[in-house]
Chains A and B, each alone.
Chain A
Amino acid sequence: MSQPNSQEATVIKVDHVKKKYLLYHERHDSLKDLVLSGGRRASYEVLWALNDVSYEFKKGRTYGLIGENGCGKSTLLKAIANILRPESGTVTVNGRISALLELGAGFHLDLSGRENIFLNGAILRLPREEIEARFDDMVAFSELEEFIDMPVKSYSSGMYMRLAFAIAVNVDPDILLIDEVLAVGDVAFQRRCFRRIKEYQAAGKTIIFVSHDANAVKDLCDEAILLDHGKIVASGQPMNIVSAYFELLSKKEAARRIKSGEESADHDLSAAKQKRYGFGAATIKEYSLVNAAGEPVKSIKSGDKVQVRVKIDFNDVIPNPVVGMTIHSATGLDVYGTNTSYNNTPISVKRAGDTIQAEFTWDAWLREGNYSISLGIVDLTDGTVTPADRWVDAITFDVAAGREMLGLIDLRADVAVTENG
């Protein structure tokens, strides 16, 4: 993935953009209401969906917008797409934008699939000649050859989505905005989406997408942007931003708990360092990656047996402690992760002063490269994960080349060939 480069051309410049929503206590939508209220509109609260947001999006890069519901990420996307006009600030765009905020926007149920291809294509700004040229491809892609002249209202929701998607993947903008489109559809559908996005990336398009899927952001983006309450709170390397996002979530969770009196307020949350967070009911005291001989290692060979050792001190009661580890690739992909719960190794209730050591032993059948391991001790009560101490990228190590292969994990396939004669 390319590093930020100030020489790359800025294609979208978001400059001190503010967008507010008025939350009316009651709406005055009719003239009668307006007259009765003496010309005043109803009382309302102001909600800043975007509060002084500035960012420069560079050509050819892929950006992921993350944040909680209502943090302003969709609003930012709509402001860039010119669907919403900000109260103040400007959005400058160089290039043709296609916004896929909804698949099948403008579909009319009474029209046939064929007619809707032209309608939706025009709405997505596909020139008519282009739609005609790609029509057969679209129909083939959607696998709706027999149904293309039937009204869309007779389609199943799956058929509807396939048709919408077949049109959407044919847009050819300079800048592509995607809002949660990846979240719909089955696995095969999502894989197609990912593949298509990679093609756009290869073609040098600028992509901005909103996603709740941390893995998608880590896997696809050059840069991630974390929004909270209408402000950009962090931006940069996707892996760092995703962990900042989780940190933010857990801080909020902690704040909520303190507020509701579930947890004493004496844990200093602001002390939570970057990459390390939790409520402090337990502390990761020591950790190491050791080889079969028990010696700490930084470099291993593909296939080596290694062990992750984690020593944890408890400062408070944890009813159902779970210790876990996750291996990440250099690009931020989660290669493998497991924990004591998944592995059916329950740990009994722990109290202040208790200490445990957890050991994860595994064969490192990994492709050559750099990897990191995140560690964590959490409480898993009633299905709710409450991080006590999570340490992102605590361990880093590298794997020396094994035999040649594709992908990240060596599944050690046996290959047999039968030749005639």
Chain B
Amino acid sequence: MSKLRELYEYRDLIWTLSVKELKVQYRNSVLGFLWSLLNPLLMMVIFSFVFAYVFKFGIKDFPVFLLCGLLPWNFFNTALTTATGSVVGNGALIKKVYFPREILPLASVLANLFNFLLSLVVLFIFLAFYGYHFWVWLFILPFIIIVETLCVTGLALLLAGLNVYFRDIQYIVGVALMALFYATPIIYNIERVQTSYWMTHYPWLMTIYNLNPMTPIVNAYRSILYSVQPPSWSSILYSLAITAFVLVLGFVVFRRLEPAFADEV
């Protein structure tokens, strides 16, 4: 609890470091922060070409369907990638200045959250263009965003802390995120997995598949925006439970590892 109060006292620094991360990200590039929007759009074009036209997935309005999952995933992906290296990357600072070390992964998450929120605006434009009534259940969306952000925060603390001791973590995270991308219903519909031969014959495979915390989160985004339906409350409850667990685990592990950071980075 005292840690939370301390983090609150340091809110200026969290804010300044998040802003710094955003500013530095696209400094020296001509299009600047527009890349935050262009990047998912270009990904959308590529995936749409491959899966809607080459493989003929037969999903209605595939670009919109894809973006509803891809944008939350990109937030998860980039936040974890940058946060994992955040403590090690700021080693010089850690050796010379005191501040709650949690600030470093937190600032990475916040900066990427900002990019994500910005990209949602583009998604809304797309949805409106395709004639989706995405505003019907929109009031639930902030709640989903908060759940995802907290889940990302927990994982970010865990990975950033462990990476100080084992630099392999950042490489493992890269590969694991790629695997998780395909294990999350982003480019395909979850029903396709649920009705597949393997999943119906071996239900425990489905259990493993469902452990992925991003699955219910991506599904919730997609229900609200694409299907224009309230999200499945049972799966939201499940992701809440996972988020709480991950968040506590992240904070506790980070706190246990943090005292020796200045010696190890």
Tell me the smallest distance from the CB of A38 to a CB of chain B, in Å: 16
- Among the 9-residue stretches B12-20, B57-65, B75-83, B136-144, the one with 4 or more Cβ atoms under 8 Å from chain A is B12-20
Question: Given contacts A30-B168, A106-B93, A123-B13, is CB(A111)–CB(B98) below 8 Å?
Answer: no
The reply to whether A84 and B262 form a contact with Cβ atoms under 8 Å apart is yes
CA A383 to CA B128, docked complex, whole Å:
83
Tell me the smallest distance from the CB of B263 to a CB of chain A, in Å: 7
Question: Given contacts A32-B168, A110-B27, is CB(A85)–CB(B93) below 8 Å?
Answer: no
Residue of A nearest to B93 (CB): A106
CB of A31 closer than 8 Å to a CB of B: yes
Neighbouring A residues of B95 by C-beta, 8 Å: 83
Neighbouring A residues of B99 by C-beta, 8 Å: 123, 125
Neighbouring B residues of A118 by C-beta, 8 Å: 16
CA A111 to CA B16, docked complex, whole Å:
13
Partner among A31, A78, A83, A115 whose Cβ is within 8 Å of the Cβ of B20: A115
Neighbouring A residues of B12 by C-beta, 8 Å: 122, 127-128
Neighbouring A residues of B20 by C-beta, 8 Å: 108, 111, 115, 119
Interface residues of B in 1-52 (CB under 8 A from A): 12-13, 15-17, 20, 23-24, 27-28
Interface residues of B in 223-265 (CB under 8 A from A): 259-260, 262-263
CB of A157 closer than 8 Å to a CB of B: no
CB of A34 closer than 8 Å to a CB of B: yes
Residue of B nearest to A86 (CB): B259
Neighbouring B residues of A128 by C-beta, 8 Å: 12, 16
Question: Given contacts A108-B24, A111-B23, A122-B12, is CB(A83)–CB(B166) below 8 Å?
Answer: no
Question: Given contacts A83-B98, A119-B16, is CB(A31)–CB(B166) below 8 Å?
Answer: yes
CA A85 to CA B263, docked complex, whole Å:
9
The reply to whether B97 and A123 form a contact with Cβ atoms under 8 Å apart is yes
The reply to whether B96 and A122 form a contact with Cβ atoms under 8 Å apart is no
Residue of A nearest to B14 (CB): A122
CB of A176 closer than 8 Å to a CB of B: no
Interface string of A101-114 (1 = CB under 8 A from B): 11001101011000
Neighbouring A residues of B262 by C-beta, 8 Å: 78, 83-84
Tell me the smallest distance from the CB of B34 to a CB of chain A, in Å: 18
Neighbouring A residues of B166 by C-beta, 8 Å: 29-31, 34
CB of A322 closer than 8 Å to a CB of B: no
CB of A381 closer than 8 Å to a CB of B: no
Q: Count the A residues whose beta carbon is within 8 Å of the partner chain — how many? A: 30
Tell me the smallest distance from the CB of B214 to a CB of chain A, in Å: 25
CB of B94 closer than 8 Å to a CB of A: yes
CA A97 to CA B98, docked complex, whole Å:
9
Neighbouring B residues of A34 by C-beta, 8 Å: 166
Neighbouring B residues of A124 by C-beta, 8 Å: 97
CA A97 to CA B99, docked complex, whole Å:
11
Interface residues of B in 61-104 (CB under 8 A from A): 90, 92-99
CB of A336 closer than 8 Å to a CB of B: no
CA A356 to CA B12, docked complex, whole Å:
69
Would you call the interface of chain B mostly helix, strand, loop, or mixed?
helix
Interface residues of A in 74-118 (CB under 8 A from B): 78, 81-85, 97, 99, 101-102, 105-106, 108, 110-111, 115, 118
Residue of B nearest to A31 (CB): B168
Tally of contacts, chain A with chain B, CB under 8 A? 72
Neighbouring B residues of A85 by C-beta, 8 Å: 259-260
CA A128 to CA B15, docked complex, whole Å:
11
The reply to whether B23 and A115 form a contact with Cβ atoms under 8 Å apart is yes
Neighbouring B residues of A123 by C-beta, 8 Å: 13, 16, 93, 97, 99
CA A111 to CA B90, docked complex, whole Å:
16
Neighbouring A residues of B15 by C-beta, 8 Å: 122
Question: Given contacts A83-B96, A127-B12, is CB(A29)–CB(B28) below 8 Å?
Answer: no
Neighbouring B residues of A29 by C-beta, 8 Å: 165-167
CA A82 to CA B100, docked complex, whole Å:
10
Neighbouring A residues of B98 by C-beta, 8 Å: 81-83, 97, 99
Neighbouring A residues of B92 by C-beta, 8 Å: 102, 105
Interface residues of B in 85-141 (CB under 8 A from A): 90, 92-99
Tell me the smallest distance from the CB of A135 to a CB of chain B, in Å: 14
Residue of B nearest to A78 (CB): B262
CB of A21 closer than 8 Å to a CB of B: yes
The reply to whether A105 and B93 form a contact with Cβ atoms under 8 Å apart is yes
CA A119 to CA B27, docked complex, whole Å:
16
Interface residues of A in 380-417 (CB under 8 A from B): none
CA A141 to CA B221, docked complex, whole Å:
52
CA A139 to CA B136, docked complex, whole Å:
52
CA A102 to CA B97, docked complex, whole Å:
8
CA A101 to CA B98, docked complex, whole Å:
10
Residue of B nearest to A82 (CB): B98
Interface residues of A in 163-216 (CB under 8 A from B): none
The reply to whether A106 and B168 form a contact with Cβ atoms under 8 Å apart is no
Neighbouring B residues of A78 by C-beta, 8 Å: 262
CA A5 to CA B194, docked complex, whole Å:
77
Interface residues of A in 118-154 (CB under 8 A from B): 118-119, 122-125, 127-128
CA A173 to CA B160, docked complex, whole Å:
30
Interface string of B143-155 (1 = CB under 8 A from A): 0000000000000
Question: Given contacts A21-B263, A122-B12, is CB(A30)–CB(B167) below 8 Å?
Answer: yes
Tell me the smallest distance from the CB of B68 to a CB of chain A, in Å: 34
Partner among B16, B17, B97, B165 whose Cβ is within 8 Å of the Cβ of A99: B97
CA A92 to CA B13, docked complex, whole Å:
24
Additional A-B contacts beyond A105-B96, A106-B93 (15; CB < 8 A): A30-B168, A32-B168, A78-B262, A81-B98, A97-B98, A106-B90, A106-B97, A108-B20, A111-B23, A111-B27, A122-B12, A122-B15, A122-B16, A123-B13, A125-B99
| 13 A-B pairs (CB sep. < 8 Å) | A21-B263, A31-B168, A85-B260, A102-B92, A105-B92, A105-B93, A108-B24, A111-B23, A122-B13, A122-B15, A123-B16, A127-B12, A128-B12
Shortest Cβ-Cβ A-B pairs, 5 listed? A85-B259, A122-B16, A102-B96, A82-B98, A101-B96
